[in-house]
Structure 1
Amino acid sequence: MSANVNGAKHLTMDSPLGLIAVSAVEEGLTHVHMGVEEVKGAWGPEEPTPVLEAALEQLEAYFAGALTEFDLPLAAGGTDFQCRVWAALRTVPYGVTVSYGDIAREVGNPAAVRAVGLANGSNPIGIVVPCHRVIGANGKLTGYAGGVWRKEWLLALERGEQSLFAV
């Protein structure tokens, strides 16, 4: 789904991962933009809505280690396959990692490992839809749209590795 959605609004927040912008339409959250350097007009006006305010509250609680599961209405658009992959990602528990092959099996197409990787990389609602919990079959961290260092940070947060957060 393009960020240029009719009726979209956004809010920003400072986070341990840098500036984050969240975008939403009335129906739900459409994007979590990480590594934001500038606010894009296509995200709509900066204007609070119940969905955006809830998203920021839940993200703050997540970063504080107090939230392990997001409860937000989602309105990201994608192909049927992408939506199935994103739904499967939401079932991966906090602090657990799975492989692309695991997700491919979960969506009923074990041979679709690369397609799962593409759908995972196209996830517009990172963190909330936890694509960071997907790693390579060899246990290695693989690409992450927000940068591999952010993926590593999120996984360390979920594992309770507080030493990573010392300044």
Structure 2
Amino acid sequence: MPAVTLQYLEMLSPDDLRGKPQPMGLTIMEAQVKDYRFNRFLYQLVGEPWQWTDKLVHTDEQWQSYAEAKNLRTFVAYHRGSIAGYYELRQHPENNVEIAYFGLSPKFIGKGFGGYLLTHAIENAWCWGPTKRVWVYTCSLDHPNAIHNYQARGLQIYKTEERV
């Protein structure tokens, strides 16, 4: 397997956000009733094309501990009744909020939804408590436009690493 490049990005002020407008017909809702099975479904739906496999070996108990934790929030984008994408926000100590997972469903890639979904994620991260930093990481296995979307919204690379 070839080496994978990971890029970590951060935003240190909500003023750095360069948002995209909401596309017509796209709605985003928080999954306020937590159910680890839903998070597992979203992870598989969105992550399959990008080889998100690390959590596929997790037990139900591990999924439940992760997805139903108090420091995790899940938001789902819908278009015409179908799941267009999702993101998870995870609150860390020292008022850091991670965009833990973010992506579009395969049928919705290239429709112009990613910029607004990321805008929504960053806005919600800043509004969650006294947030001092929003961060995310992406890798060379993700969609080639992922890093461009993150940077276009105002996130800055602060670390790059290679993994074999």
TM-score by length of 1: 0.28
Structure holding more strand per residue? 2
Structure holding more helix per residue? 1
- Of structures 1 and 2, the one scoring higher in RCO (CA 8 A, sep 6+) is 2
